[in-house]
Amino acid sequence: MKATLMLENYSVWRNIIVPSDTTFPKLHKILQEVFTWQNSHLHDFTIFPSSTNGKVVSITQNIPIVTLVCHEEAFNYQGNVPMQMETGRKLSEYLLSKFVYNYDFGDDWQHKIEVESLIEDYIPNYPTCLSGEGNAPPEVVGGEPGYEHFLETILDKENPDREHMLSWGRSQGYEEFDLEKTNRSLRKL
């Protein structure tokens, strides 16, 4: 599957192999690892249906069929899309669907997730990150505008706030994408 952090000005994505019997709570943990998030906020998965011929319909042209939530408090904010607890729900139930993983409802980090292919003979029973691009934003940076400010500050070697911002970013999980390190972390899940 390909998980893409939906940003206007930056490309941040990961290609990962995930066993089809993975539950959505476990998928959340996998996504936390591959994007170096710190599991400090609530999340949900909004599921979009496949078309009748098995092809996935564009998220922008479709109405979600369900939102899988991680906490019962979400039911206090019920909208037009049915909600269910994610517990016990498996990825295999939605293999032909696209979905959006939303992490941190304040910063609103939305990840578009697409199953690109099914591997029939995948032997390991753990996820693997095949490739990726870009560094995920640090926690509580203030959404994409805050991330832009963060990057401008750390990339400007003349900026007097650069070292402080780098230190703060590291404390919030910001780091360079490292495929080998990511895969070591995934094997421990």
For 91-114, what is each residue's pLDDT tens digit? 999 887 889 999 999 999 999 999
Both tokens assigned to 29: 């943990």
CB 34 within 8 A of CB 187: no
With 70 as the cut, is the pLDDT of residue 29 above it?
Answer: yes
Cα(5)–Cα(175) distance, integer angstroms: 16
Place of tokens 């016990």: 88
CATH number, domain 2-134+177-187, options 3.20.20.450, 3.50.50.60, 3.10.290.30, 3.40.50.620: 3.10.290.30
Q: Is the dihedral of CA 150, 155, 158, 162 positive or negative?
A: positive
With 90 as the cut, is the pLDDT of residue 46 above it?
Answer: yes
Q: Where are the domains of the chain?
A: 2-134+177-187
Strands (E), the chain: 2-5, 12-17, 43-48, 66-69, 83-85, 98-103, 109-114, 128-133
For 70-83, what is the mean pLDDT?
Answer: 92
For 134-153, what is the mean pLDDT?
Answer: 96
In percent, the amount of the chain with pLDDT more than 90 equals 80
